[in-house]
Structure 1
Amino acid sequence: MAPIGTRWLEIVGAWMLGLIWVLPLLYAVWTAFHPAAYATRFDLFAPLTLHNIQLAWEAAPFARYFLNTTILVTLILVAQFVLCTPAAFAFARMEFPGRDFVFAIVLLQLMVMPDVLLVGNYRTMVHLGLVDTILAIALPYLGSAFGIFLLRQTFRMVPQELDDAARLEGCSLLGRLWRVYVPLAKPTYIAYGLVSVSYHWNNFLWPLVITNSVTTRPLTVGLSIFASTDQGIDWSIITAATLMTSGPLLIAFLLFQRQFVQSFMRAGIR
């Protein structure tokens, strides 16, 4: 058990880090729901308003940006689940020559920053004729080494007896994967889904490079262009637009934070 002094230092440090994180969010909420005159001063009796949200929504095609982003993150997440699940199962439960070596190669991909591949990915999309499409944004991310690693760790924790029982009942390989492993990995899928959706919801550089029209821009690129226009000078409107784009992620994390923490704790056990 840690000494009392050390414990108090940890608590104070945690509170300080929490304040550093939450203060900008509180400022954004305050500015977004109050008139522009109150953006730089605090007044408990300041009137609340949705006018900033309305102005931000009407000043840029945020409906289209939301649609593009929703399609993008859904496409990537579904593809990652479909591709990572059998790969993780193979690395966790199947024996084949070079399994550990191939898995090490997969993990090496975690060391490669996506930004390093921008030029190569762009040239590939030009060759495929996919520039300025949602598919072009998603294609480099349809596979995930992190997703394979996380699911592999979870699948390794499934008791072998359950697998053997399913085999005796006549389940095929895919049947055991679908009926035994996938249901038990539900918290991991939720946690990884939050990570994937959060990353691609906020991804900026690659969508900025590969898109050049409203019909394909996601929220991050649309927000940056909106903030650089004449309408974006008003901080109340900028914070309102920012709050609209980040709000869904905050709500999702608050709803699934328990599964998020538990799955990563389990992933480090074996």
Structure 2
Amino acid sequence: MSGVRLSRPAAIVRHAILLITGALIMAPFVWMVSLSLKPPGEIFRGSFSILPEHWYALENYTKALTAAPLQQYMLNGVIVCAAILMLQILVCASSAYALAKLEFRGRDTLFSLVLIGLLLPHQVLSLPLFILCYSIGILNTYAALIFPFIVSPFGIFLFRQFFRSIPDDIIHAARLDGLSELAIIWRIMVPMAMPAIIAFAIFSVVGHWNDLFWPLIAVRDENLMPPALGIMSFANQEAGNDYGPLMAASTLIVLPLIIAFLAAQRWFVEGLAKGAVK
């Protein structure tokens, strides 16, 4: 609890645990960047060092950008993630408002189905989704990468919890002013729920930017591959055992996510605290 003042030994133990945990989480990323700066001879050397003796960054990053269409992979990731996020917000905000603020028969049953959806891993639905995408003829297109993720149970749950924290008096006043339910959602509820939307956006973008399983099934054209699938193709076909360019490409792919999270971390924490905890 934030109001409880810890004793000095307890505070030291807590900070030590946080530092150790943070170091363990950051270690793979630091090692990835380190390898992207080293020549091949130093990568497989038995001795451990974070900084290279001979800097090979220019060669590794140049090869990462030229040996495979990395820019196209990242552009595909931006297109797919942006389209998924916009459609998810459109669907999830409307659904969450209905579950949070409207009274209708079967509302609790529908919310129970949303909770069940939270428990199901997406891989369970991959076969019926593949058959559906094949039936409507969208395999090996951007639509195949976007369509299965339009409805997000987590997004509906998070937005519903945040909408429930908004006083009903605000909605009643908006109705008295003549606003429709859709206008209330997009002109009142969504702007007030912006912290929750930013928190959800980070989860959504990171999840789909790094997704390998579904793109591996849905697309074959290299020009449609998102970053995770593209980097696998880069490693297998172009880089081989040349891990320097591979780690350089991985660093370039991870960097936009890190920058986005650092820019939005305040709203991310606020959105989770005010939404999912309520």
TM over 0.5: yes
Structure 1 residue 58: Cα displacement: 0.5
TM-score w.r.t. structure 1 length? 0.93
Q: Deviations along 1:11-39, whole A, 9 cap, x unmatched?
A: 11111111011122112222223434443
Structure 1 residue 249: Cα displacement: 0.5
Tell me which of 108, 130, 144 is aligned to 1:136. 144
Give the match for residue 258 of structure 2.
Answer: 250
Matching of residues 30-69 of structure 1 within 5 Å: 30-39=34-43, 40=45, 42=49, 43=51, 46-47=54-55, 49-69=57-77
Gaps of 5+ in 1: none
Structure 2 CA distance, aligned partners of 1:44 and 1:67?
31
Give the match for residue 87 of structure 1.
Answer: 95
Give the match for residue 12 of structure 1.
Answer: 16
Alignment coverage as a number of residue pairs: 270
Tell me which of 93, 106, 109 is aligned to 1:98. 106
Structure 2 CA distance, aligned partners of 1:91 and 1:142?
18
**1:197 and 2:212 matched:** no
Structure 2 CA distance, aligned partners of 1:58 and 1:238?
12
Structure 2 CA distance, aligned partners of 1:127 and 1:116?
19
Bigger drift between 112-121 and 85-94 goes to: 112-121
Give the match for residue 154 of structure 2.
Answer: 146
Give the match for residue 123 of structure 2.
Answer: 115
Give the match for residue 233 of structure 1.
Answer: 241
Would the alpha carbon gap of residues 44 and 72 (structure 1) be closer, same or farther in structure 2, given more than 3 Å must change?
A: closer
Give the match for residue 273 of structure 2.
Answer: 265
Helix, strand or coil at the partner of 2:204: helix
Structure 2 CA distance, aligned partners of 1:59 and 1:198?
25
Helix, strand or coil at the partner of 1:50: helix
Would the alpha carbon gap of residues 230 and 89 (structure 1) be closer, same or farther in structure 2, given more than 3 Å must change?
A: closer
Structure 1 CA distance, aligned partners of 2:207 and 2:213?
12
Structure 2 CA distance, aligned partners of 1:24 and 1:255?
22
**1:167 and 2:175 matched:** yes
Structure 1 residue 48: Cα displacement: 6.2
Structure 2 CA distance, aligned partners of 1:212 and 1:32?
28
Structure 2 CA distance, aligned partners of 1:22 and 1:77?
27
Structure 1 CA distance, aligned partners of 2:208 and 2:238?
28
Structure 2 CA distance, aligned partners of 1:48 and 1:73?
32
Structure 1 CA distance, aligned partners of 2:237 and 2:34?
23
Helix, strand or coil at the partner of 2:178: coil
User: How many percent of aligned residue pairs carry the same amino acid?
Assistant: 33
Would the alpha carbon gap of residues 49 and 122 (structure 1) be closer, same or farther in structure 2, given more than 3 Å must change?
A: same
Amino acid at match of 1:26: V
Helix, strand or coil at the partner of 1:233: coil
Structure 1 residue 228: Cα displacement: 1.6
Helix, strand or coil at the partner of 1:130: coil
TM-score w.r.t. structure 2 length? 0.91
Helix, strand or coil at the partner of 2:222: coil
Amino acid at match of 1:33: L
Matching of residues 206-217 of structure 1 within 5 Å: 206-217=214-225
Tell me which of 212, 225, 230 is aligned to 1:222. 230
